[in-house]
């Protein structure tokens, strides 16, 4: 079987097989893609990609009958759900409905999910991590492999592939919560694991300046690891203490030294014991493609986007459905014929009854009653419109967010002598500040303390602004609660 791992910038192809619980890798090759042929996971120029892949397969003498695919895109949206226990079909439908209503998405998304387990102290509902992938992303890959003449057995998200690798052995169980980071000069891919389960994934595209490439990547990794740690703590987690890296690891020594100063242990994600690698395959580079060879747990995991699309009823009509349509049409014709015969028998009596009723409807008595109803209905509509305007004005008055003086007092009490406000802007319900502190480790502490005051609706760390000598200037955005906090 062939496994393809697609990004906007390259495609990694692995030939392998699954035998007696072992994944045997025979050959691996990475092919760079021209700019613009894939944008944010959506294939823009299918013919170009077909030519590139065909050329790579022929040049490296790679052939097989089936394919599995892993894909990634920043358009993919993840969401934690709590779903009542039910049969497979009913559970699937409830996940679909809840994702659409809570995220406001349409039928143009394919929704996959993994059951994480029962909610604490409640055995009748399950915790679920669900992902919504745009149908436009999936359609492109189906057309691509149709043109390649290669049947596709599975299309899944790359985060599910790396989850298979991380969870195959229990050696990472004691290091939860942990974070995996795929490093590439064009993008970073983050996966957060809690309680030995994938709980969130995030892809970040990088705009690299050649003269500062390594430092730019290092800053991006640091900023996003901090964001993922804050996300974990906001869910009641203990914070991330272990980070596993894979991908392009030429700068790993520098990464390791940087995070050692922050008491965060970093490692290279190693190959599980059941994977047998060919010498041409560097495991760290091909983890997403290799992870696609693992079998899915059909009870807990609905991650094959091809099967999900078919289950959602959005694939082409099959033969069985066509037969049911024809049968339904014939039954309807029979019912119409029987109804026509019966109605003809009573038609004359009904005409007499209708004439009597028409005479009553056209009478002066009915006309006067209708005029009265129209008049009172007009009064009612005017009164309803007035009450709606009163309700709207009341809601607007009590929901307006303003900034009170004690907001600044709260912020100053957190800063104390740790830092000072360089600039401050307030717009609508958002307060944007630039803060200067004399220690590079203080930004994370200041943001965390602002969050812990529980005085604000949301506190967002926007990143470093500048750094010189021992001082650090960074940006924070605070969303106020209704009423000024």
Rounded mean pLDDT of 321-328? Answer: 60
pLDDT of residue 261: 78
Query: Is 125's pLDDT higher than 90?
Result: no
Query: Is 192's pLDDT higher than 90?
Result: yes
Give the Å distances, CA to CA, from 139 to 42, 136, 309: 9, 5, 10
pLDDT band at residue 243 using 50, 70 and 90 as cut-offs: very high
Rounded mean pLDDT of 324-329? Answer: 68
DSSP assignments along 200-269, one per residue: EEEEEE----GGGHHHHHHHHHHHHHHHHHHHHHHTT-----EEEEEE--TTHHHHHHHHHTTT-EEEEP
pLDDT band at residue 335 using 50, 70 and 90 as cut-offs: confident
Among 3.40.50.620, 3.90.550.10, 3.30.70.2740, 3.30.420.40, name the CATH number for the domain at 170-271. 3.30.420.40
Q: Residue 380 burial by CB count (10 A; 0-12/13-18/19+): exposed, middle or buried?
A: exposed
pLDDT tens for each residue of 163-190:
999 988 788 888 889 999 999 888 899 9
Among 3.40.30.10, 1.10.3720.10, 3.30.1360.100, 1.10.260.40, name the CATH number for the domain at 405-479. 3.30.1360.100
Is 220:213 a contact under the CB 8 Å cutoff? no
**Mean pLDDT over the full length of the chain:** 85
pTM: 0.63
Rounded mean pLDDT of 397-403? Answer: 58
Rounded mean pLDDT of 67-78? Answer: 92
% pLDDT > 90, the chain? 38
- For residue 129, count other CB atoms closer than 10 A to its CB: 21
Per the DSSP assignment, residues forming a β-bridge with 14 are 3, 28
Distance (Å, rounded) from C-alpha 69 to C-alpha 154? Answer: 6
> What length does the chain have?
485
Rounded mean pLDDT of 334-345? Answer: 81
pLDDT tens for each residue of 253-301:
888 888 887 778 899 999 998 999 988 788 999 999 999 999 888 888 8
Query: Is 319's pLDDT higher than 50?
Result: no
Distance (Å, rounded) from C-alpha 30 to C-alpha 72? Answer: 16
Residues of the chain with CATH 3.30.1360.100: 405-479
pLDDT tens for each residue of 373-391:
888 887 888 888 888 878 7
pLDDT of residue 140: 93
Q: Maximum Cα–Cα distance for the chain, whole Å?
A: 101
Is 38:72 a contact under the CB 8 Å cutoff? no
Residues of the chain with CATH 3.30.420.40: 170-271
Residues 6+ apart with CB under 8 A from 185: 206, 208, 213, 217, 248
């Amino acid at each position: 079987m062939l496994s393809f791992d697609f990004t906007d910038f390259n495609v990694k192809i692995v030939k392998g097989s699954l035998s007696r619980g072992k994944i045997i890798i025979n050959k691996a090759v990475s092919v760079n893609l021209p700019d613009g042929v894939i944008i944010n996971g959506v294939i823009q120029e299918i013919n170009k990609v077909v030519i590139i892949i065909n050329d790579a397969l022929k040049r490296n003498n790679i052939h097989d009958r089936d394919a599995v695919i892993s894909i990634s895109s920043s358009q993919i949206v993840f969401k934690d759900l709590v779903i009542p226990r039910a049969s497979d079909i009913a559970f699937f439908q409830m996940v679909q409905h809840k994702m659409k209503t809570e995220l406001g998405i349409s039928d143009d998304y394919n929704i996959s999910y993994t059951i994480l387990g029962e909610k604490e102290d409640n055995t009748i509902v399950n915790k679920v991590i669900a992902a919504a992938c745009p149908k436009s992303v999936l359609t492109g890959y189906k057309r691509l492999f149709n043109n390649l003449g290669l049947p596709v057995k599975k299309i899944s998200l790359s985060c599910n592939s790396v989850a298979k690798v991380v969870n195959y052995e229990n050696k990472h169980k004691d290091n939860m919560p942990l974070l995996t980071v795929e490093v590439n000069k064009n993008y970073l891919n983050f996966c957060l694991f809690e309680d030995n389960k994938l709980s969130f994934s995030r892809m970040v595209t990088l705009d690299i300046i050649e003269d500062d490439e390594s430092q730019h990547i290092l800053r991006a990794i640091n900023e996003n690891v901090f964001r993922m740690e804050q996300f974990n703590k906001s869910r009641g987690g203990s914070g991330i203490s272990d980070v596993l890296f894979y991908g392009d690891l030429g700068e790993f020594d520098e990464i390791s030294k940087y995070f050692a100063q922050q008491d965060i242990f970093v490692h290279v994600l190693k190959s599980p014991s059941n994977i047998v690698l060919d010498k041409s395959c560097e495991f760290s580079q091909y983890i997403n493609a290799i992870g696609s060879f693992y079998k899915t747990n059909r009870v807990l995991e609905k991650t094959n986007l091809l099967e999900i699309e078919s289950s959602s009823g959005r694939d082409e009509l099959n033969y069985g459905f066509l037969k049911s349509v024809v049968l339904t049409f014939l039954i309807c014709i029979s019912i119409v014929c029987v109804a026509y015969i019966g109605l003809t028998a009573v038609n004359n009596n009904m005409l007499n009854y209708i004439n009597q009723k028409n005479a009553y409807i056209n009478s002066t008595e009915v006309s006067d009653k209708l005029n009265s109803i129209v008049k009172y209905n007009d009064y009612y509509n005017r009164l309803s419109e007035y009450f709606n305007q009163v309700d709207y004005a009341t809601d607007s008055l009590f929901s307006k967010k303003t900034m009170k003086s004690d907001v600044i007092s709260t912020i100053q009490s957190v800063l104390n002598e740790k830092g000072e406000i360089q600039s401050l802007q307030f717009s609508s319900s958002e307060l944007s500040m630039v803060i200067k502190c004399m220690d590079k480790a203080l930004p994370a502490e200041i943001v965390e303390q602002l969050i812990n005051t529980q005085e604000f609706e949301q506190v967002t760390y926007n990143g470093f602004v500048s750094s010189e000598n021992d001082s650090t200037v960074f940006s924070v955005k605070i969303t106020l609660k209704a009423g000024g906090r």
